[in-house]
Structures are given as structure tokens and as C-alpha cells.
Amino acid sequence: MTTSCIIRGLGHCVPENRLTNADLERMCDTNDEWITTRTGIKERRIASEGETTVSLSHQAALMALDNAGMKAEDLTHILVATFTPDAYIPSAACMLADRLGIKGRTCMDISAACSGFLFALETARAYVCLHPEAKILVTATDVVSSRVDYSDRSICVLFGDGAGAAIITGAGADFPNGSGRVLDVMLATDGSAHDLLTVKGGGSGSPVKPGGIVSRDFFVQMNGREVYKYAVRAMSSICREMLEKHGLTNDEVDVFIPHQANLRIIDAVGTRLEMPTEKIFTNVHKYGNTSAASVIIALSEARQEGVIKDGNLVLLSTFGGGFTWGSALVRF
Ligand code: ACO
């Protein structure tokens, strides 16, 4: 059974604090030319003291609620996709509910690294099948800077912090102006690639000992070349599969929003899909890779800026550690 759900509101929030390529030149052995040609990233936003996954999610959630014309009390479920929760216990979702001043809801975190938003969206889609009256807040947020070693030039240039939010309801008879109908979500994983992109430190496989040192394991470790090749293959094939499943061609897609990891990956996926460049939305130059938040920030911005118009068909795609990847089709 294919059940659609509705995106009633979108929001996003990025920290004020900018980290430019010039700033990074002063922090480690890198340069603007290398970063720009390899990634297309010019700057990223970095959380300041007190800014966390929960606080950024809260700001994005308020924008999405306002956009949906709803109040926090209306919500029945909260899902937070993140690999950087404020704490191991409680979940970021429970803490977010508290910030929003609500209790008694179903709240949980979802771990799918950079693919987190689509995994959370699919979970929300399942919830509205079980509970057609559900009003679900999905946020996808990462403070990646909390897990980046700024002396590791191969990693620190790539990532930034941010949050995106969507309000999801069942596809009842009414379809308010400005809403998006989620037509389908496809997800995939390959756990055999777990070592190619990982943060191990602090997990039960690499436990922290009292007085122990914070090793490299506590920060993002990645085999960039292998990630690049796999990401391009996986995102292009799942997008192709999605279009074929729905009997669609590129011509019928109005806006394509791939995971904003770096411009070379985006260009390579676009080329494989033969997607015209003008249909591909990018904001990676100003935010870097914000992990789970990447596509939802882009979706919210593209809608807010009028890039996505009423009636447009939007194709989303993600890729992240796990490996995890996916695609979604949304009609606005
Ligand atoms: N500044 C300057 N030089 C650098 C930097 C840097 N920031 N980082 C690495 N280098 C050096 C390397 O040390 C190497 O030097 P060497 O030849 O003397 O050994 C040289 O640049 C080339 O390094 P490569 O790793 O071969 O560079 P490559 O062209 O593969 O680009 C990159 C690296 C950008 C990481 C690329 O592999 C990539 O885009 N991978 C995808 C990674 C990604 O985006 N991951 C995000 C998480 S997953 C996801 O969201 C999809």
C-alpha cells in the first residue's frame, strides 16, 4: 500500500557564527583554492557556546509550526534525526518536547547519519498510517562541529552545523495551500561499509574510561575517496529507481535537491541522472555538509525563496554513514 503524507510546514535554523575558508587557512594546513575546487564550500556555520542540537531544532521547529499555522500543543509525535544529540540520555526528541513545553507525546531520535531526514520522514509516514490524526514534528539536526577535529584538514573543511524541521500529517481530504504531498520515500543501507565513515569513540564498542583520553576515534573519520564513489553510485541509482517506479522522466522533475555534501558529488550525481543544472538546488557553498540537516535545510530554503513553486515536483536524495541512502518525491 502506498500512503502519502503531507508536509504542512517547513523551517530551518543555522548558527550565526561563520567559519570561512580564510579562517580555516589560519587553523590548519589548507587553502581556499583546494577547498573550493574539491568541495565548492566557501563557508559553514558553527554553533557557539550554548547552541546545541536541541536549541537549533527548537528554532527550526518554531519556524515550521508557524509555517504550518500550528502550535506545539497540536503535536502528537516528535522525531529528531541526528548523530549529535545533546546527550546519550535523554533523547534529543524528549528534550525538544520539553523546550516546546509539551509532555506525553511519542518522542524519539533516529540515527541514520546524513540520511537522517529521509529515514525520519519515512517513519513519520508509517506513523500516519497507524494514527491518521497524527501531527508529527520531524527535525533533522546536527552540530557536526562537536565531532570534528579542527586539526584534521581532510575532515574539518567539509562540515557545518544546522537544523531543519517539517510538520507532517496524514493525507486527509484537505490539502492546505503551500503544503507538499510526499508521494514516496525509498531507503537503503549497507552496513558492510561501516568503517568508511564513522565516529566510534564513546560507543559501547569503544567505551570511555574514567580519566581516559579523547582519541581520534571521538571525531569523524572517513575514507573520502571511497565515500565519494559510493555516494555518487548510490544516490544516482536510487533516484533513477524512484523515477522509473513512478513512470517519470527528468523532464517532469522541477527541482532536484541532493544531499549537500560537496559540489563535486552533486555535479557527478546530476551528470549521471542527466539532470539539467538549473534544476539542481545547492546551498553547500554557504553551509558545508550539515549531515542530517542538509536536505531539509535546502528544502525549506528553496521553498522560502520561491525556487519551489506550487505544483512543482521535487526529488530529494541523501547519503551518509552506515552507509545509508535514500530518495523521496514530493509534490507541492
Ligand atoms: N587542504 C589541502 N590539502 C588537503 C586537504 C585540505 N583540506 N585535505 C586533504 N588534502 C590533501 C591530501 O593530504 C592529499 O595530499 P597528498 O596527495 O600529498 O597525499 C591531497 O590533498 C589529495 O587528497 P585526496 O583525498 O586524494 O583528495 P580528493 O581529491 O579525493 O578530495 C575529498 C578529498 C574532498 C574529501 C573527496 O574525497 C570527497 O569529496 N569525498 C567525499 C567525502 C564527503 O563529502 N563526505 C561527507 C560525508 S558523507 C556524505 O555526506 C556524502
218-249 pLDDT, tens digit per residue, is: 999 999 999 999 999 999 999 999 999 999 99
- For residues 35 and 21, give the distance between their C-alpha atoms in angstroms, rounded to a whole number: 7
Mean pLDDT over each residue of the chain, to the nearest integer: 96
Strands 255-258 and 18-20: unpaired
Region 251-256: what's the mean pLDDT? 97
Question: Is residue 18 pLDDT above 60, yes or no?
Answer: yes
* Per-residue confidence (pLDDT) for residue 2, from 0 to 100: 46
Region 2-22: what's the mean pLDDT? 92
Catalytic residue at 194? no
DSSP states of 90-126: S-HHHHHHHHHT--SSEEEEE--GGGHHHHHHHHHHH
Q: Which of 19, 38, 263 to mutate to test the pocket of ligand 1 (most atoms within 8 A of CB)?
A: 38
* pLDDT band per the 50, 70, 90 thresholds, residue 49: very high
* Per-residue confidence (pLDDT) for residue 3, from 0 to 100: 57
* pLDDT band per the 50, 70, 90 thresholds, residue 182: very high
CB within 8 A of 216, min separation 6: which ones?
149, 152, 201
Residue type at 208 in one-letter notation: V
Paired residues of 141 in beta bridges:
163
- CA of residue 154 to ligand 1 center, whole Å: 5
Catalytic residue at 94? no
* Per-residue confidence (pLDDT) for residue 1, from 0 to 100: 45
Picking from 164, 141, 143, the residue whose alpha carbon sits closest to that of residue 63 is: 164
Reported pTM: 0.96
Please state, in angstroms and as integers, the Cα–Cα distance from residue 147 to each residue in 31, 45, 80, 132, following that order: 22, 14, 18, 38
Region 64-79: what's the mean pLDDT? 97
Contact 27, 148 (CB under 8 A): no
- CA of residue 61 to ligand 1 center, whole Å: 34
* Per-residue confidence (pLDDT) for residue 270, from 0 to 100: 98
**Residue with the three cell numbers 508509517:** 126
- CA of residue 172 to ligand 1 center, whole Å: 47
Question: Is residue 173 pLDDT above 70, yes or no?
Answer: no
**CATH for the 180-331 domain, from 3.40.1190.10, 3.40.47.10, 3.40.1400.10, 3.40.50.300:** 3.40.47.10
Contact 140, 296 (CB under 8 A): yes
Pocket of ligand 1 (CB under 6 A): 30, 34-35, 38-39, 114, 153-154, 157-158, 197, 222, 224-225, 227-228, 231, 259, 261-262, 264, 289, 319-320
- CA of residue 276 to ligand 1 center, whole Å: 26
DSSP states of 142-177: EEGGGG--TT-HHHHTTB-EEEEEEEEEE--S---T
What are the sequence ranges of the domains in the chain? 5-170, 180-331
Is there a shared CATH topology between the 5-170 domain and the 180-331 domain?
A: yes
Sign of the torsion angle spanned by Cα atoms 34, 38, 41, 46: negative
Sign of the torsion angle spanned by Cα atoms 306, 307, 310, 315: negative
113-151 pLDDT, tens digit per residue, is: 999 999 999 999 999 999 999 999 999 999 999 999 999
What burial class does residue 123 get, using C-beta atoms within 10 Å of its C-beta: 0-12 exposed, 13-18 middle, 19+ buried? buried
Catalytic residue at 129? no
Closest ligand 1 atom, CA of 154? 8
* Per-residue confidence (pLDDT) for residue 176, from 0 to 100: 81
- In this structure, whether the domain defined by 5-170 belongs to CATH 1.20.1250.20 is answered with no
Spell out where the chain has E strands.
Answer: 5-13, 18-20, 43-45, 77-81, 106-110, 135-143, 161-170, 180-189, 197-198, 221-222, 255-258, 313-320, 324-331
| DSSP one-letter code for 48 | P
Contact 139, 25 (CB under 8 A): no
Q: Which of 228, 260, 266, 282 to mutate to test the pocket of ligand 1 (most atoms within 8 A of CB)?
A: 228
- CA of residue 153 to ligand 1 center, whole Å: 9
* pLDDT band per the 50, 70, 90 thresholds, residue 290: very high
Between 91 and 210, the higher pLDDT residue = 91
Atom 1, ligand 1: residue with shortest CA distance: 30
Picking from 224, 225, 237, 292, the residue whose alpha carbon sits closest to that of residue 259 is: 292
Question: Considering 5, 94, 107, 114, which one is annotated as catalytic?
Answer: 114
Strands 43-45 and 77-81: unpaired
Atom 10, ligand 1: residue with shortest CA distance: 154
